[in-house]
Structure 1
Amino acid sequence: MNDSPDGPIALEDAAAAVLQAEQAVRAARKQLRAAIVAAYQNGEPVASIAARTGEQPHQIRNLLDATGVRARR
């Protein structure tokens, strides 16, 4: 059993902490998607966005496509 310095961690408390962390991750991903779209719409190349975010260029292109952003030609 994992105990905190104050005693045992209740199952409900641990579940609530996981839920809160999952909500924070969803919010952060939403912010990242918006920032990626904005960077691309402001003229930044996909390769540059990928390098700045640690993603692969194909992941950036897929995200842009999924959000309805038209590819530059």
Structure 2
Amino acid sequence: MVSASGDEVLGRAVRTLETALEAVRVARRELTLAVVGAYRAGVPVARIAERCGLHPVAVRNLLDAAGEPRTRR
């Protein structure tokens, strides 16, 4: 059985985790917007990946998930 103080610690840990997860969701949305914006501006996938510290496949997957067509106009 967990003590009352143990419950408090667990409760704080859960709240901290929930806050961190929301921050990750916001960061992912911001990254997606930045990547899509750069791609639409004509920046090549390889350059976007290099600047973000990502693998080009991860950038392509992000563009696909955002519904961004990957054919250059």
TM-score range, shorter chain: 0.7 to 0.9
RMSD: 1.6
Structure 1 residue runs without a partner (length 5+) = 1-7
More helix by share: 2
Is residue 45 of structure 2 the alignment partner of residue 46 of structure 1?
yes
Q: Please state how far the C-alpha of 1:61 moved relative to its aligned partner.
A: 1.1
In structure 2, what is the equivalent of residue 18 of structure 1? 17
**Structure 2: tracts of 5 or more residues without a match:** 1-5
Q: CA deviation at 1:72?
A: 2.8
Give the corresponding residue for 1:57: 56
- AA aligned opposite 1:58: V
User: Partner residue of 1:3?
Assistant: none
Tell me what 2:3 maps to: none
Q: Larger strand proportion, structure 1 or 2?
A: 1
Deviations 1:18-44 (A, max 9, x none): 110111111111110111000000110
CA distance in 1, matches of 2:62, 2:13: 32
Q: What is the CA–CA distance in structure 2 between the aligned matches of 1:47 and 1:60, rounded to whole Å?
A: 8
Q: Deviations over 1:30-59 (max 9, x none)?
A: 110111000000110000000011111111
In the alignment, the residues of structure 2 paired with residue 15 and residue 58 of structure 1 have an alpha-carbon distance, to the nearest angstrom, of 33
Q: Take 2:61 and 2:9, find their aligned partners in 1: how far apart are those partners?
A: 41
Q: Which runs of 4+ in 1 moved over 3 A?
A: none
